[in-house]
């Protein structure tokens, strides 16, 4: 049986990593300043993420209508960009390197459910985007995936396994289609 406590609900080995008050405060900050497209000021969003425990580098741009589950489980390197309506559902750690791009409507999903269990137990795994990785518009990165240095996930694709450095992946599930050559 799964355990629950007031410091952060748990399912199996899952923990939110924060208490009820912090999660509640973040819920409203996320709703008002991130999910809402009304406030386009990226520097304010970066400051709020840092206040809630995210590790954010220099020159990070966060566009309007971005949804972030738990900032205390997020790190973003220098000069990375998160596009409109991106969703970082980080039930586990999400590490985004420097010079990365998460395009409009892309999703980073750290959780899934075990369909083999009657309780549909939650399974979480971290996601890593290494330096220069680019997640195309409306693409999905699944739990446990590592998008290695300068890899690209093409528009509307689904990464279910690790992506090799300097390659472009496309489709559902995404497959390696060609080498990425940077000039």
pLDDT of residue 8: 46
- Length of the chain measured in residues: 183
* Distance, CA of 69 to CA of 23 (rounded, Å): 9
pLDDT at residue 119 in the model: 82
Mean pLDDT (10-residue bins), the chain, 183 residues:
43 78 95 89 96 98 97 98 97 97 98 87 94 98 98 98 98 98 91
Q: Are strands 14-15 and 94-96 parallel, antiparallel or unpaired?
A: unpaired
Question: What pLDDT is stored for residue 2 in this prediction?
Answer: 44
Return phi, psi of residue 120, to 5°.
55, 45
Alpha-carbon dihedral sign for residues 79, 90, 8, 27 = positive
Q: Where are the alpha helices (DSSP H) in 139-183?
A: none
Say how many C-beta atoms besides its own lie within 10 A of residue 46's C-beta: 19
Which pLDDT score, from 0 to 100, does residue 6 have?
41
Do you find a cis peptide bond into 173, omega within 30 degrees of 0?
yes
pTM of the complete model:
0.90
CA dihedral angle for residue 66, residue 67, residue 73, residue 79, rounded to 10 degrees: -10
pLDDT at 15: 85
Domains of the chain and any CATH numbers: 14-178 (2.160.10.10)
Give the chain's radius of gyration (CA, Å): 16
């Amino acid at each position: 049986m799964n355990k629950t406590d007031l410091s952060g609900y748990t399912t199996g080995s899952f923990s939110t990593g924060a208490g009820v008050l912090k999660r509640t405060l973040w819920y409203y900050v996320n709703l008002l300043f991130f999910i809402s497209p009304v406030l386009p000021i990226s520097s304010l969003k970066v400051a709020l993420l840092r206040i809630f425990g995210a590790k954010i580098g220099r020159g990070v741009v966060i566009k309007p209508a971005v949804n972030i589950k738990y900032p205390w489980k997020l790190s973003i390197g220098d000069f990375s960009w998160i596009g409109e309506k991106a969703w970082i559902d980080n039930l586990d750690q999400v590490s985004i390197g420097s010079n990365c791009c998460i395009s409009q409507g892309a999703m980073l999903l750290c959780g899934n459910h075990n369909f083999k269990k009657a309780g549909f137990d939650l399974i979480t795994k971290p996601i890593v985007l290494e330096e220069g990785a680019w997640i195309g518009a409306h693409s999905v990165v699944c739990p446990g995936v590592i998008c290695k240095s300068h890899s690209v996930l093409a528009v509307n694709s689904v990464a279910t396994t690790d992506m090799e450095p300097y390659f472009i992946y496309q489709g559902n599930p995404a497959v390696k289609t060609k080498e990425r050559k940077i000039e």
